[in-house]
Structure 1
Amino acid sequence: MQKFAFLGLAIFFTLVLCLSINAAQPQPPLWQVYQQSLKTAKYVDLTHTITPNIPVWSGFGTSKFEPTINPKTLQPYNYKKDGFEATHYDLSTDQLGTQLDPPAHWNPEYPAIDELPATFAVRPLVVIPIQDKVAQDPNYHLTVKDIQAWERRHGKILEGSVVFVRSDWSKEWPNPELATRTKFPGVSLDALKFLHLQRHILFHGHEPLDTDSTPTLEGEAWLLHNGYTQAEGVANLDRVPETGALVTIGYPKFKGGLGGYARYIAICPPNWSYGVSVGQIPESPLQKADKSLHWNKQLGVRVR
């Protein structure tokens, strides 16, 4: 009996010791950031969905989606017969939809998309609004004065930030006619130089598919010939705050890629009006839809 009593006491004190150690052990700092800030934040997608018919420069041609074909049977894979389906993408360019342009797009001496550093992953997000001026002049371009006005309201732009320019140009997306317009909102060369040489941002982003509407694309030329990246085709900037948010940056890692299909997610404060927080919708497992995906021949994509 004494042996069992001693064994019981030993187990009891071992459990108490383990619990004490665990209670005294603080969470790693980054996990605390997740629990205290990121978990309750509001997440807003700033990315267009890629389809074969979204706006794209005519010089790139059209893209096409098709069901993946089994090379042995020459028939599309089928949920019922094969247990899965897959998609074949005939993409005319890596400059499609919401993008991250590496400098190698214009200058082969600088990094391609697969050579960008992992430190691009998350940054402070600045949103500078020019939509009111664009409403008066569809060809309006961000100026240094616009940037300075933002700084008077919110303080100096943090070094290493991502700066997105809100023009509301994307409100008409996915109208293919957008890509044919010669007048559209942009970012002036002086503004780009100020952001990079004076504020030392990581990169800027804009809603249209080009940086500026000058005949030589002078802003884009300066950026990419000098080793800077940029975001294009950004969406939903009316749903994020001008200051106080973060942005996550994701893109596929194509070897030698000269453009990047990008996914930008804004991480906004918990009290922000838009977005969704962790736990608000089913995540693991994800929720089943009321309607199943099926191939729509007319649209050339799967729909519900």
Structure 2
Amino acid sequence: MSVITDLLASIADERIELIDLTAPLTDKTPVLALPEPFKNTLPFQLELISRFDEDGPGWYWNNIHTGEHTGTHLDAPNHWITGKDGLDVSQVPLRSLLAPAVVLDVTDRVADNPDFLLDVADIEEWQRTHGALPAGGWLLYRTGWSSRSENSDDFHNADETGPHTPGFTAECARWLAEETEVVGVGVETVGTDAGQATALDPAFPCHHHLLGAGKLGLTQLQKLDQLPATGFAITVLPLPIVGGSGSPARVVALVEK
């Protein structure tokens, strides 16, 4: 039996489970909100073209209005100034988009501190139990934040000082970018950086270091609680937007039962 045939047979007989990690894309999907004077992306919208009516009696279709960085989406290297000469989303290697992944779970710590920042020591402790981060693979950062995704206010968790959501320390972002072989990090929050990341040095260190190193970001993941810590793969399927800095993506995990 060929490898491909065996893979398809394993999916068909559910030896491999497919778990959709993608947030539904609707006009209620939370989007990043930047303060003035910066411009913001459009929320997701459908614009009806026709639906079995005089504009199209036998078909239904819509125009889509949204930004590249809406919902579950991929950040390409050229999204950030440190990676501005890097790959656009259409150029990201397919081997980075079908790759092994691991889950690092800190939901208990985030429950007590929404501003929790993952540090290098936390990853090193995780590796002592689970082994090395996957070369050419993804680190998925489970914080439990996806439980807030149906309410935009809860998801952004903002007050007069700005949003309060978990992320990475600046040193951890640098270390992941420069001293590991992961292709990127995936998070449950609206962006890969913490809500208070403007106060870090550099500001938005995940974007600064990871995209500057040609690596990738993946946001607004769901159902990470259904994944094992190791031993699975993910597929990340963005639109191949030529010149694009990112794209909404369908993200599916392949988990061996």
> For residues 141 and 38 of structure 1, do their structure 2 counterparts lie closer, same or farther at Cα, with a shift above 3 Å needed?
farther
CA contact (8 A) 2:16 2:256 kept: yes
In structure 1, what is the Cα distance between the partners aligned to 2:242 and 2:92? 11
In structure 2, what is the Cα distance between the partners aligned to 1:263 and 1:145? 31
Q: 2:218 corresponds to which letter in structure 1?
A: A
1:36: how far off?
4.9
> For residues 198 and 221 of structure 1, do their structure 2 counterparts lie closer, same or farther at Cα, with a shift above 3 Å needed?
closer
Structure 2 counterpart of 1:202: 183
Q: 2:156 corresponds to which letter in structure 1?
A: A
For 1:248, which of 216, 220, 235 is the aligned residue?
Answer: 235
Per-residue Cα deviation, 1:135-160 (whole angstroms, up to 9, x for no partner): 11110011112211211111122211
Structure 2 counterpart of 1:234: 221
For 1:49, which of 24, 44, 48 is the aligned residue?
Answer: 24
Structure 2 counterpart of 1:32: 6
CA contact (8 A) 1:195 1:201 kept: yes
> For residues 38 and 226 of structure 1, do their structure 2 counterparts lie closer, same or farther at Cα, with a shift above 3 Å needed?
farther
TM-score when normalising by structure 1: 0.72
For 1:125, which of 84, 87, 101 is the aligned residue?
Answer: 101
CA contact (8 A) 1:54 1:97 kept: yes
Structure 1 counterpart of 2:78: 104
> For residues 66 and 245 of structure 1, do their structure 2 counterparts lie closer, same or farther at Cα, with a shift above 3 Å needed?
same
1:219: how far off?
2.5
CA contact (8 A) 1:124 1:245 kept: yes
1:38: how far off?
7.7
1:202: how far off?
1.1
Per-residue Cα deviation, 1:74-103 (whole angstroms, up to 9, x for no partner): xx3417962210011122x11100011001
Structure 2 counterpart of 1:293: none
Alignment of 1:125-164 (within 5 A): 125-164=101-140
Structure 1 counterpart of 2:36: none
CA contact (8 A) 1:207 1:235 kept: yes
Between the aligned residues of both structures, percent identity stands at 24
In structure 1, what is the Cα distance between the partners aligned to 2:92 and 2:132? 26
> For residues 36 and 94 of structure 1, do their structure 2 counterparts lie closer, same or farther at Cα, with a shift above 3 Å needed?
closer
In structure 2, what is the Cα distance between the partners aligned to 1:63 and 1:155? 39
Q: 211-220 or 249-258, which moves further after superposition?
A: 211-220
> For residues 230 and 82 of structure 1, do their structure 2 counterparts lie closer, same or farther at Cα, with a shift above 3 Å needed?
same
Q: Is 1:179 equivalent to 2:149 in the alignment? A: no
1:226: how far off?
2.7
For 1:214, which of 192, 197, 201 is the aligned residue?
Answer: 197
CA contact (8 A) 1:57 1:180 kept: no
CA contact (8 A) 2:103 2:228 kept: yes
Q: Is 1:190 equivalent to 2:166 in the alignment? A: no
Q: 2:29 corresponds to which letter in structure 1?
A: I
- Larger % of strand: which? 2
Structure 2 counterpart of 1:169: 145
CA contact (8 A) 1:100 1:259 kept: yes
Aligned residue pairs, count: 236
* Higher Rg: 1
1:180: how far off?
5.8
CA contact (8 A) 2:21 2:221 kept: yes
What are the ranges of 5 or more consecutive residues in structure 2 without an aligned counterpart?
Answer: 34-39
1:37: how far off?
7.0
In structure 2, what is the Cα distance between the partners aligned to 1:195 and 1:30? 32
> What RMSD over aligned residues (CA atoms) do the two structures have, in Å?
2.0
Structure 2 counterpart of 1:265: 252
In structure 2, what is the Cα distance between the partners aligned to 1:173 and 1:97? 10
